[in-house]
Amino acid sequence: MDMKKIIIISLVAFLVTAILVGSLLYIFVFRTPSEKVVVIPTFEYQLGEFSTNLGSQRSFFRGSIVVETTDKKLLDTLENNHIVLRDSVIKTLIGKRAEDVLDPEGQQLLRQELIQVISEVSQSDQISNVYFVEYIVQ
């Protein structure tokens, strides 16, 4: 073999090896996962138990409500506005009928409405969820 063929074969072998090693390094070392799990800390505020009539009917709601937020400083705001929050939640519950809050879809709508009401009272958009710890409608 002449020297030209040896150099060409060596270059091709080097390029193939470099591409293979580069690909393996990219796949196993340098590539970041497409779905990174980011844990956002959440904080809970107990609004307490509620017992109130629903709508103009003789229906009754009894339950405990917990507010979840992503802002720890908001807990102080919620505590300072505790009475106003409870009043707003009771007004929201009184405006509902038993049929509106008995099915899962109605519960989800009530949850969204409570998030909106609590966000307005606290003047924050950091309310991430509202949980019903106890939920009884008669």
CA distance 134 to 138: 13
Q: What is the pLDDT of residues 65-115, one digit of tens each?
A: 999 998 888 888 888 889 999 999 889 888 888 888 888 888 889 899 999
CA distance 14 to 80: 70
Q: What is the pLDDT of residues 16-33, one digit of tens each?
A: 999 999 888 888 877 766
Residue type, position 100, single letter:
D
Average pLDDT, the chain: 86
Reduced to 3 states (helix: H, G, I; strand: E, B; else coil), residue 138 is coil
Task: Give the predicted TM-score (pTM) of the model.
Answer: 0.69
Alpha-carbon 7 to chain mean position: 61
Confidence at residue 38, expressed as pLDDT on a 0 to 100 scale:
78
Say which residue, 57 or 23, is predicted with more confidence: 23
Burial class (CB in 10 A: 0-12, 13-18, 19+), 65: buried
β-strand pairing of 59-69 with 127-137 = antiparallel
